[in-house]
Homo-oligomer: A and B are copies of this chain.
Amino acid sequence: MPKDPDYFRGRKIRHSIETLEGSLIRKVAETNIGRDDVIALWFGEPNEATPDFIKQAATAALDDNHVFYAQNRGIPALREILSAYVSNLHGRPMDIDRLTVTASGMNAIMLVSEVLIDNGDNMVVVGPVWPNCRQTVQIMGGEARQIALQPDQNGRWQLDMDALFDACDERTRAIFVNSPGNPTGWVMSEAEQRYMLDECKRRGLYVIADEVYVRLAYDVPKAPSFLDFAEADDPLIVINSFSKTWSMTGWRLGWLTHPPALGEVFSVLNEFNIASPTTFVQHAGVAAVRDGEAFVTQMVEEYRRNRDLVFQRLAAMPKVNLYRPEAAFYAFFAVDDMTDSLEYAKHLIATTGVGLAPGRAFGDAGEGWLRLCFASQPALLSQALDRLEPALS
């Protein structure tokens, strides 16, 4: 029986949880949320609200009383339209049995860790990357091992596939790869994807592909996807989300594409994690997929212009080094002489009123870098860059 008087003061929690580090982005942002004088470019979030036609679909679903529990794997109408959408996007038929609706891409990643990670297992993660996938592994008592992309002599991010697989051992369950990448804007080629999947099949590993930015590619119609070529039974689980493609961050809606044999598993896990995502939000999701293409096309064009604006301005600042992002909506840049990106990001908020994400939030390899989200208005971005220029020159 415990004798420590501090036993119950919140300390009697699992060691894995006790050492779980909250997002450093949140650490910079949370106390500053809602401040009018800050230009907030810290989160991976469009600053334009969800399009009206999606909000109207949610209101209509409320009027129709879609307010009851729904099927564990999502309402049939949403799974059906996702099946058509995914089939069309990747030019291959996607059976509805391979699709499970989730309460966000984040929740989808948590479910994947619940499926794969036993105590002592590990997942090898291509970084620098949005940290949350690593933390779901830790929650399950596993270890996330990050292998960092490295800029080549032109500054373009490169994946060292040998280093990646050298990091695998007998407790490795999966490779986690996010392409297009947050924060790097890195885009994995189809050749790399094919090699990775083949090697994972050979070694008995899953590929967990976070493809939430697949539509946000600026120099090609869409980024390469594992779903362009993978077979249904391949050991591949793809994470997707409504947040970025249809500007629905606060709605909490996403989906998983998985081998058909995992359908029942994800059904049961959805039930015990959340039952099913908010019912009328799923109906709004149907409208997003069905009627959203014009919106997506226009949004990508706007982001492309923002990308060019931000890249040109940042590249001209003497202390800044960056590669032109090929996809997603981030400028990830190195700053000369910056040794502590968290402190530096806080300092920038205090001195310039511009909120950026510290590179260290994306793993040790991100130290020395900052991330700016350019899913914003050009005028606001210009103002932010004006404010940053003296500090970064």
The B-contacting residues of A in range 128-147, CB under 8 angstroms, are: 132, 135-136, 139-141
CB pair B261 A11 closer than 8 Å? yes
A110 close to B33 (CB less than 8 A): no
The stretch of A114-122, A151-159, A214-222 that contacts the partner chain: A114-122
Contact A274 B104, beta carbon cutoff 8 Å: yes
Report A30-56 CB contacts with B as 1/0, cut-off 8 Å.
100100000000010100011000010
Q: How far is the CA of A357 from the CA of B110 in the complex (A)?
A: 29
Q: Is the CB of A390 closer than 8 A to any CB of chain B?
A: no
- Which residues of B lie under 8 Å from residue A275 when comparing CB positions? 104, 106, 252
**A116 touching B70 by the CB < 8 A rule?**
no
Nearest B residue (CB) for A33:
B71
Contact with B along A341-353 (1 / 0, CB 8 A): 0000000000000
A22 to B67, CA, bound (A): 23
Interface contact B252-A116, CB-CB below 8 Å: no
Give the residues from 213 to 262 in chain A that come closer than 8 angstroms, CB to CB, to chain B: 233-235, 247-252, 259-262
Verify if A391 is at the interface (C-beta below 8 Å from B): no
Tell me, rounded to whole Å, the shortest Cβ–Cβ distance linking A199 to chain B: 12
Q: Complex Cα distance A267/B173, Å?
A: 28
| Shortest Cβ gap from A355 to chain B (Å) | 13
Question: How distant is the Cα of A281 from the Cα of B279 in the complex, in angstroms?
Answer: 11
**A252 and B280 contact, CB distance less than 8 A:** no
Residue of B nearest to A252 (CB): B278
The answer to whether the Cβ of A63 comes within 8 Å of any Cβ in the partner chain is: yes
Residues of A with Cβ closer than 8 Å to B? 1-2, 7-18, 20-23, 26, 30, 33, 43, 45, 49-50, 55, 58-59, 62-63, 65-72, 103-104, 106-107, 110, 114-119, 132, 135-136, 139-141, 201-204, 206, 233-235, 247-252, 259-262, 264-265, 267-269, 271-275, 277-281
